[in-house]
Structure 1
């Protein structure tokens, strides 16, 4: 029996979790039963949401439960996305070796971008701001970013670096963030490899916060820019385009149900404009499926 592809299996598991955890389901809004990722006030959003829902249910053979509340939906979606990355990316060591850390941070987590090599200088800036009211008024905390999910690479010991043949010694390469310091010295912090923003829907301007966070990560770094991506379950093509179009901030927008979204939009009668918009985003490499994300993180 042929083994199922890792990403295909993980994608099915991801969808099953969304259903079983009450993220994806039918809910009653204004007396109407709609998919939990749809906007009851938009006929197009409801139609596409229903199309996605029916296709995912057919794939998973699961029965939906009553969805969680709005805030609970977002939190569980973050957990599901984090689990999907943890189930896939570490298995791609033949493409991207490393000692990886994958974590969902959440709003109350003390870990922010200051915890990583490219941004640890911001910790000193934060201390200065806290002790100076003038700096507090001028800077606030706009330079601080707490990603929903992070992928980070831990520094390597000399033993690992020199495993195949001598690469480093005491005289060279002492400043690289990838090289752990000798025992007894302060150890280097992990290197931020990816910042992942998880937005179940894009109902409000808060979805644009992902763009602001991305620009802060780009401007404030010392060293390599991490992958900066957004994962969403939003069914509305216009809302997807509002974040996906353009370049220079986020790498790409990833959809939890891209094939299902495309099929649902293509079958809408009289809305060829929306189908064209979605295909433009896909063909322009601005919108991909979540199954593409682990491989893109290996780049």
Structure 2
């Protein structure tokens, strides 16, 4: 049986990462490993053995590696949406970066910012945490009445006069998903994905978008620092979850494997290939 389209897309996703983002130095240390941690290096190396051959190159600066990972992930998600129109019809778009105030649920945040600029006391009270710029945004354009009424006349001048999905009522895109990309999880900065998620929950007017984190971190303990707990993030997605689990089995890391399985069984950690189907749910 030929490989499924999503399996091929996942393989291509890894191949693109191997072009320059996931490399190894002259000592064989993968670029997503913590060189100061033997366990991290061993796990990252075992994952790398399973997904392909990495180039020998110097480690990219953190911002460059992160930006590359965002671009590769955005392309993967965009291609998947193009193949899944039958599961979630609509005029969707996937962009790398961009503020949330451009979307219907968060358009009022522009008004808040304008008010804050004119009053220092209000600016101090509001802070700036609500001015979120996700790494990847998935948006949906409102639909015309012609599209909505394509199969049967669903709406007219007397009904659905407030729904944001109807272009007659709303000219702004709707935020469908906010995706945060963390190539590695080695600092407290990784936790800003939680605060971003909470702000998306608290500051919305309308439906809540999907809120997810995608990471290439090899250490389950560090993944757990972000994945465990609920309320702020839908789920964390690993760039090579089956390979990570197999690596832990081969390395006989029973304690760490138990932690990984806890996250998987608890629906807090999934593979990158699960992300597209979850996004069209």
Q: TM-score w.r.t. structure 1 length?
A: 0.91
Q: Distance in 2 between matches of 1:144 and 1:90?
A: 29
1:100 equivalent in structure 2: 92
Residues 48, 54 of structure 2: 8 Å contact kept: no
**1:266 and 2:217 are equivalent in the alignment:** no
Matched, 1:54 2:53: no
Cα distance in 2 for partners of 1:3, 1:161 equals: 37
Q: How does 1:134-213 map to 2 (within 5 A)?
A: 134-181=121-168, 188-213=171-196
Deviation at 1:99, TM superposition (A): 0.3
5+ long unaligned stretches in structure 2: none
The SS at the match of 2:25 is strand
Report the number of matched residues.
280
Equivalent in the alignment of 1:108: none
Q: Cα deviations across residues 174-232 of structure 1 (Å, max 9, x unaligned)?
A: 110000028xxxx5211101000000000100110000000000000011110000000
Give RMSD over aligned pairs: 1.3
Runs of 5+ unmatched residues, structure 1: 106-110
1: distance between equivalents of 2:149 and 2:157?
12
Residue 263 (structure 2) aligns with = 281
Is 1:19–1:65's contact at 8 Å kept on the other side of the alignment?
A: no
Which secondary structure does the structure 1 equivalent of 2:82 belong to? helix
Deviations along 1:234-291, one digit per CA (max 9) or x if unpaired, are 001100001001111100000001011001111223x311011111111111110000
1:14 aligns to 2:9 (yes or no): no
Preserved contact between residue 139 and residue 173 of structure 2 (Cα < 8 Å): yes
SS at match of 1:27: coil
Normalised to the residue count of structure 2, the TM-score between the two structures is 0.96
Q: Please report how far the alpha carbon of residue 27 of structure 1 lies from its aligned counterpart in structure 2 after TM superposition.
A: 2.1
Deviations 1:18-69 (A, max 9, x none): 011x1111025xxx43111100111111110000111111xxxx55252422
1:293 alignment partner in structure 2: 275
